Amino acid sequence: MIDDSMNDSSPTAWWAHHPTLLRLVSDLLAAELAHARPGRPPAPPPWPAGLDFVRDLGADSLELLGMGTALAEALHLRFHDGELDARLLARPVLEEWVAAARAGLAAGAQAITFRTSGSAGTPKRCTHTLATLWQETRVLAGLLPGRRRILSAVPAHHIYGFLFTVLLPHAQEINEVIDLRAASPAAWLDMLRPGDLVVAHPGWWEALARLRPAFAADITGVSSTAPCPDALADELAAAGLRLLQVYGSSETAGVGWRERGGVRFKLFPYWEETEDASALLRRLPDGSQVRYSLQDKLEWAEPEEDGARRFSPAGRIDAAVQVGGTNVFPAYVAEVLRMHPAVADAAVRLMRADEGRRLKAYIVPCIPADDGGAGLRADLAAWLGARLAPAERPAAWTFGSRLPRQASGKPADWIIDSDEAG
């Protein structure tokens, strides 16, 4: 069993490393601005330190207020009367906001708040103390010894990115974290070298696998945010990659890990099973215990000889699915579609494995279309583009006179045309 006996203290001044804090703040602010501008996201990070939010991004006063509030909320910065205006809104430059964040963190902030989608599709706040995040980081460091560089395809302000690209480098004294998001996997494949850790999600690994890579020795990958298909994990392993899969959520952080497809996850040592299949107990660094609700039901294997527990996820409780590493809620997307005046009814599902990895929509128009739905399809795509994030927008459309149903009357799946799959 991995030793987590040193998990009783928080990381010291992780925010003092300027490139780390710049990356975290940039990712957080870019996400907040994209949320305020559906269909018109800003240029993605990395951003230069001298970026002016008004001059270079066209941010208005309401957008600046939202960005400043998001930064204060996420990092638990304490601004007194008028300080938010003076420290941030009056100085809308990235390096000024990074400096303000550093000063606030130096004052003793001991928690981080991450935002994820809730069961209604609206943002949900998930707060974790630095001590508990550091507890997990020390376990991860034991699973990933000898890493020299980290290459990341995930944002630093999400909990997965924060653990692996902010705290893990701090724990292992890794100074080089390279952002992979600005280029395709093909552009980075030849740059990998022994000692690298590649932090990505299943969609990124799937794109890389299509290139038929042959990994050099001592390259490790990690995958999270969504289930990694067993066939994909096997393909990457056959190509020479050690792939660590981490199971968890924004609400719980990491819960378990495995190194091969088709096997159960091993529970991190500070978690304990409960009689409720949808909850776990966590032993905190101070010795106390807290009960956490899960987003999946878990199926447990018999305890191993050393007492370690292994489990398999057995279905979502909150009906969320993963698209490109993002939680999306098909029922919510269908609800937005039904608001369109030309839609009588709608159903939204995750594509089947042979169809793709995006959402698909089945639309019942108010008035049957003579063009097979082409015009309405374009109208709906624009409608959703102004209201939903890219991961929430269906990539395939089917039109019919009634929603598909089983003989029992329950909703049924449908097959999309091959040229619609994405």
Q: What is the DSSP letter of 405?
A: B
What phi-psi label fits residue 160: left (phi over 0), alpha (psi between -120 and 50 degrees) or beta?
alpha
Buried b or exposed e, range 197-216, using 16+ CB within 10 angstroms: bbbbbbbbbbebbeeebebe
The tally of CA atoms less than 13 A away on the side-chain side of residue 296 is 19
In the structure encoding, which two tokens stand for residue 383, read together?
């409608």
| Residue 269 CA from chain centroid, whole number | 23
Question: Is 30 within 8 Å of 47 (Cβ atoms)?
Answer: yes
* Residue in 292, 341, 350 with CA at minimum distance from that of residue 319: 350
Question: How do the residues of the chain divide into helix, strand and coil, expressed in percent and rounded to 5?
Answer: 35, 25, 45
Question: Is 122 within 8 Å of 160 (Cβ atoms)?
Answer: no
Task: Give the total residue count for the chain.
Answer: 422
- 10 Å CB burial of residue 254 (0-12, 13-18, 19+) is buried
Give the sheet arrangement for strand 289-293, strand by strand: 271-273, 279-283, 289-293
* Residue in 29, 62, 31, 37 with CA at minimum distance from that of residue 385: 37
Beta-bridge partner residues of 266: 257, 310
Q: What pTM value is reported for the model?
A: 0.81
Question: Is 28 within 8 Å of 157 (Cβ atoms)?
Answer: yes
* Residue in 24, 18, 94 with CA at minimum distance from that of residue 56: 94
Residue 239: C-alpha distances to residues 50, 232, 234, 259 (Å):
42, 11, 9, 14
In the structure encoding, which two tokens stand for residue 303, read together?
């305890």
228 CB-near residues (< 8 Å, 6+ apart) = 202, 205, 243, 245, 261
Question: Is 255 within 8 Å of 267 (Cβ atoms)?
Answer: yes
Pairing of strands 343-350, 296-300: unpaired
* Residue in 253, 154, 150, 147 with CA at minimum distance from that of residue 204: 154
pLDDT for 117: 55
Give the sheet arrangement for strand 396-399, strand by strand: 343-350, 359-365, 396-399
H/E stretch holding 256 reads: strand 253-258
Q: Rounded distance, CA 268 to CA 89, Å?
A: 42
pLDDT for 4: 44
Q: Rounded distance, CA 153 to CA 177, Å?
A: 11
Q: Rounded distance, CA 186 to CA 192, Å?
A: 11
pLDDT in tens for each of the 422 residues of the chain?
344 434 446 677 899 999 999 999 999 999 999 989 877 889 989 999 999 999 999 999 999 999 999 999 999 998 876 777 788 999 999 999 999 999 999 988 899 999 875 444 456 899 999 999 999 999 999 999 999 999 999 999 999 999 999 999 999 999 999 999 888 888 888 889 999 999 999 989 999 999 999 999 999 999 998 889 999 999 999 999 999 999 999 999 999 999 999 999 999 999 999 988 789 999 999 999 999 998 888 999 998 888 889 999 987 777 788 898 888 889 889 999 999 999 999 999 999 888 988 999 999 999 987 777 788 999 999 999 999 989 999 999 999 999 998 755 668 899 887 555 44
Q: What is the DSSP letter of 85?
A: I
Pairing of strands 289-293, 242-249: unpaired
pLDDT for 87: 82
Q: Which amino acid is at 390?
A: P
